[in-house]
Amino acid sequence: MAERITKNMAKNIYFGGGVFAILVFVGLTFDTVQQIPKLSHEEKLTESVALGKKVWEDNDCIGCHTLLGEGAYYAPELGNVFERIAGGDEKVFKTYLLGWMAAQPLDTPNRRKMPQFHLSPVQINNLADFLIWSSRVNNQEWPPNTQG
């Protein structure tokens, strides 16, 4: 091997490394796209889940809450709220959410207040379905604890 790197050698290392990095990136992207349907449970997406996501977006819930680690850290993580509050019972969760949303804003000392959004029971049911679906996504064990 030569004692110095020649211009030609540097060019080969640069282009070879670039092509290698691009191939790794394309391979990982392809692998991720292939796994999304298995991880997200797309087959369980219903119209109610989609409408619940619309309620979530229209009311900017992510402006205060996190969902699967994404969003603001002002209010609790809601990626596991279904399991945390209702222990996996859909009827209990929907009843709880309906009462919780109707009771807002709570006047609890030393606690931030959630606004009253004046959602209809149908909107709250759709939001519950969205949160239930979100809790069943394979989230790689996120959040790391039950309290979010």
Q: What is the pLDDT of residues 98-138, one digit of tens each?
A: 999 999 998 888 878 899 999 999 999 999 999 999 998 88
**How confident is the model at residue 2, as a pLDDT?**
56
Residues 20 and 90 in one domain: no
b/e per residue 86-111 (b: at least 16 CB within 10 A):
beeeeeebbebbbeebeeeeeeeeee
Q: Are residues 35 and 106 in the same domain?
A: no
If asked whether residues 77 and 116 sit together in one domain, one would say yes
Number of structural domains (the chain) is: 2
Same domain, 51 and 27: no
pTM for this predicted structure:
0.77
Share of the chain above pLDDT 90, in %: 67
Token pair belonging to 52? 């619940």
Domain span including residue 56: 41-148
Res 44: pLDDT: 85
Task: Indicate if 106 and 140 belong to the same structural domain.
Answer: yes
pLDDT attached to residue 141: 78
Which CATH number do you get for residue 109? Answer: 1.10.760.10
